[in-house]
Structure 1
Amino acid sequence: MELDKALRISAAGMAAQSTRLRIVAENLANRDSTGDTPGADPYRRRTVTFAEKLDRETGARAVRVSRVGQAAGEFPRRFDPAHPAADAQGYVKTPNIDSLIEVMDMREAQRSYSANLSVLETTRGMLSRTIEALR
């Protein structure tokens, strides 16, 4: 049944975007965290990678989270010689998180989640009307 495929595809999209929103929230929550010891690395930004999966039962292709990884790159440093994590020169490594990028990722994930929810609700309504017509 094609409506069943639509439900599964939109549910998979919602699950993937939900994971993405959770990772963005973690990144934003840790944007000010630092290491505990001199020269220690702070929180590293996490990223979500999507992949296509085939639902063998329905033959539908849907999205899934293939990997939650860490962003590469250097940590920004700020001068704060009084901080417990300051190195010998007085610099503290800070997380490689840009709040603007995280907010943009969050908005995109919210919109994708909302679009999938709309498809789910529309499909559910079509199923309900079909059942009513068969009575």
Structure 2
Amino acid sequence: MTGPYLAEVTAEGPAGGKLVCVKLGSTSAGSRRLALRWLRDQAHRLADGLDPAPNAWWARDAPGALVELPGPRTDVPTELRRWESDDHAHEDALALLAAGSPVAFTVADYSGRYTLAIWPVSRSLAPAKRRADLESSTASP
């Protein structure tokens, strides 16, 4: 299947006593490779936002601004970075997308769940005008 494809990054977790889902970004792409490239960039952006480098400009002058949390836990930024650089997982995702299936990568920790997803857009979801144009071109005189 060739494009278009939709890609989306979401975060889900507790806020104000409720479970909320927030869209962190989305895009449409003309090819599955472009959609996957965008998603990889988003994985990098999200990982850096959750776990900035210790030498980040704003942390250099603020001792104690970044601290390591004790105890065993899922390390979401590390998992996002691992997925970002996993060429085998990306080839598998491209094959699934080529077959018309959606793909998603989800990782969670104590604070919530993060999902990066791509799905092909069905040609049957074309804009109404395009459908009307197709119907009028096949109508008998």
Larger helix fraction of residues: 1
Q: Same fold (TM over 0.5)?
A: no
The structure carrying a bigger strand percent of its residues is: 2
Q: TM-score, normalised by structure 2?
A: 0.29
Structure with larger Rg: 1
